């Protein structure tokens, strides 16, 4: 079981931005060799990133549609947040993370599953917690 965040998916799906370990993990998920879950905000976070790429001309319409098809086919279960907003906010602040990043990390910690991310703040937080992380960041 892996926990996938939006930064990992977008880095994998954006042309010429793929990375080795993250790409391999997502290919294992796509081919169903490995199961994956994510925070409930995952599709919205990816849509935000891809919409910005389209709006700024970084994506053509064809590339944007391709990435959305990949997102639609990615077999990732979405998990709701199972903590009170106050507890969650306090925990996110203690980790120096925004709510979206903290949701991915909290899920990974609760499931005791490696987090697949390309977000530097999440990489740092995983190292701080000694939590397994799959990333191409050094």
Confidence of residue 57 (pLDDT cuts 50, 70, 90): very high
Q: For residue 85, give the H/E element and its range.
A: helix 85-94
Computed over every residue of the chain, the mean pLDDT equals 93
Which residue is listed with tokens 């965040």?
Answer: 5
Chain segment 23-40, per-residue pLDDT in tens: 899 999 999 999 999 999
Per-residue pLDDT, averaged over 41-52, amounts to 94
Domain residue ranges of the chain, discontinuous segments joined by +: 2-134
pLDDT over 60 at 18, yes or no: no
Per-residue pLDDT, averaged over 78-107, amounts to 94
Q: What is the DSSP letter of 57?
A: T
pLDDT recorded at residue 137: 86
pLDDT recorded at residue 25: 94
Cβ 122 vs Cβ 97: under 8 Å: yes
Per-residue pLDDT, averaged over 106-110, amounts to 96
Domain covering 2-134 in this structure, CATH number: 3.40.50.1010
Confidence of residue 70 (pLDDT cuts 50, 70, 90): very high
pTM value is: 0.91
pLDDT recorded at residue 15: 65
Q: Looking at 7-132, which runs of residues are DSSP E strands?
A: 36-39, 76-79, 115-116
Chain segment 109-118, per-residue pLDDT in tens: 999 999 999 9
Per-residue pLDDT, averaged over 57-80, amounts to 93
């Amino acid at each position: 079981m892996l926990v996938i965040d939006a930064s990992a998916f977008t880095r994998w799906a954006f042309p010429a931005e793929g990375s080795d370990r993250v790409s391999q993990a997502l290919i294992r998920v796509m081919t169903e060799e490995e199961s994956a879950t994510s925070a409930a905000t995952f599709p919205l976070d990816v849509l935000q990133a891809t919409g910005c790429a389209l709006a700024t001309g970084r994506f053509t319409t064809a590339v944007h549609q391709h990435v959305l098809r990949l997102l639609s086919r990615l077999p990732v279960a979405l998990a709701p947040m199972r903590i009170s907003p106050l507890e969650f906010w306090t925990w996110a602040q203690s980790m120096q993370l925004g709510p979206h990043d903290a949701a991915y990390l909290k899920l990974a910690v609760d499931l005791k599953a490696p987090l697949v991310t390309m977000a530097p703040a999440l990489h740092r937080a995983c190292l701080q917690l000694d939590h397994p992380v799959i990333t191409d960041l050094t």
